[in-house]
Amino acid sequence: MVDLVIIDRAGSAHEFSAPGGGSLMEAVRAQGIYDIKALCGGSCSCATCHVYVEASGPLKPMSEDENDLLDGVSERREGSRLACQIVLAEGMAPLRVTIAPEE
């Protein structure tokens, strides 16, 4: 399991653990946090799953495609990621994730 703290757009924090294997986007959706649209269902094509991630350990670097798509969001910042591109792995360090504002 991976420990997650998700801050939704209203500012509420959701603390839970999600199993390894799926993406962060899927974990957020399954938890019933509905701010995340994820319109392309995780195929790195829409950028509607934009989040800000603070990881307490190293994350796999983002792909060029993810980086390029993030260039198109209006509020890219330090820690900007596409939640569908972060694969949760067992033993991963906890993540603190803030859902980015709506485009």
- Residues at the site binding ligand FES, with contacts judged by CB under 6 A: 25, 38-40, 42, 44-49, 82, 84
Chain centroid offset of residue 30 CA: 13
- Pairwise CA distance, residues 71 & 74, whole Å: 8
Query: Measured in Å, how far apart are the chain's first and last C-alpha atoms?
Result: 31
In angstroms, what is the minimal distance from the CB of 101 to ligand FES?
16
Residue 54, binding choice from ligand FES, other proteins, none, Cβ under 5 to 8 Å by partner class:
none
Is 77 or 93 the residue whose CB approaches other proteins more closely? 77
Q: Which residues, in sequence order, are CB contacts of 97 under 8 Å at separation 6+?
A: 4, 5, 6, 7, 24, 28, 51, 52, 53, 54, 83
In angstroms, what is the minimal distance from the CB of 18 to other proteins?
13
In angstroms, what is the minimal distance from the CB of 4 to ligand FES?
17
Is 32 or 58 the residue whose CB approaches other proteins more closely? 32
